[in-house]
Structure 1
Amino acid sequence: MSNSVTEFNEYRAKMNDEILGANNKILKRIFNLDTNAFQEGALDKRTKEIVGLACSMVLRCDDCVKYHLTKCHELNLSDDQVYEIFSVANLIGGTIVIPHLRRAVEFWNELKQSETNDL
């Protein structure tokens, strides 16, 4: 796995453990709600991750973009599918999303590269 992909995943896991370890009922419920919202339901997981990625780009949350890109990669979305998500997000969010698009493309490429390094 590339260094930034590994660093992101390790940091996220470490901080989630610390946050959940504080045993705050409201935060635990928010994390649980987030987990359950992306489970299979009337919409399949792929569709939910597509929506999550587009929304995260429009909201300009780089950590969320990385998370949803990772999930899209795990669900085997193609480059064409991801770039269509990027295009919709940039259309809706406007040109202010372009810097986040650059970082998203970089992270997507690192995810794909980590796949070939794992073989």
Structure 2
Amino acid sequence: MSKDWIEMTRSLSGGLKEMRGGAPDVMKAFSTIAQAATKAGALDTKTKELIALAIGVAVRCDDCIAFHAKAASDRGASSEEILETLGMAIYMGAGPSVMYAAHALEAYNQFAEKKAEPVAAAG
């Protein structure tokens, strides 16, 4: 079964916006944590997104996979880096992670292909 990971991130964004409006203090605090955790330091932001993708696979979170596959693609992760990351997720999460690793690879491929598409001229 194939999922439209790009559409998943679009549709989830509406619910997240509603959460920001309905629970602003909680969501602001979460955003602060996310910004602090993903800020480049000893690890660059791409590496941190690869770690997040692996965790998304290991905990079996499709939504996490969608957003972190997009972020990894946006930060220039290569297919080889994605596959090695998924190998670690499988190692740490066993059989169920194999299935979710296939989801993560599909998600990354969709975002990487979209990123490679030429932008149409406005007219």
Task: Give the alignment's TM-score, normalised by structure 2.
Answer: 0.82
> Could you tell me how far apart the structure 2 residues matched to 1:50 and 1:116 are?
20
SS in 2 for 1:94: helix
Cross-structure match for 1:9: 9
State the Cα deviation string for residues 10-48 of structure 1 (Å, max 9, x = none): 223211211111144233212321233112223221121
* Corresponding letter in the other structure for 1:51: I
Q: What are the Cα deviations for residues 77-113 of structure 1, in whole angstroms up to 9, with x where unaligned? A: 1111110001010011101112211211221221122
2:60–2:97 Cα contact (<8 Å) kept: yes
1:42 aligned partner: 42
Alignment length (residue pairs): 117
> Corresponding residue for 1:21?
21
Question: Runs of 5+ in structure 1 lacking a partner?
Answer: none
Amino acid in structure 1 at the alignment position of 2:54:
A
Report percent identity of matched pairs: 23
Q: Structure 2: how far apart are the matches of 1:16 and 1:38?
A: 19
Distance in 1 (CA, whole Å) between partners of 2:67 and 2:101 is 14
CA distance in 1, matches of 2:23, 2:111: 32
CA 1:101–1:79 in structure 2 vs 1: closer, same or farther (change >3 Å)? same
Partner residue in 1 for 2:96: 96
How far, CA to CA, are the matches of 2:20 and 2:37 in structure 1?
A: 18
User: Counterpart of 1:47 in structure 2: which amino acid?
Assistant: T
Gaps of 5+ in 2: none
- TM-score (normalised: structure 1): 0.85
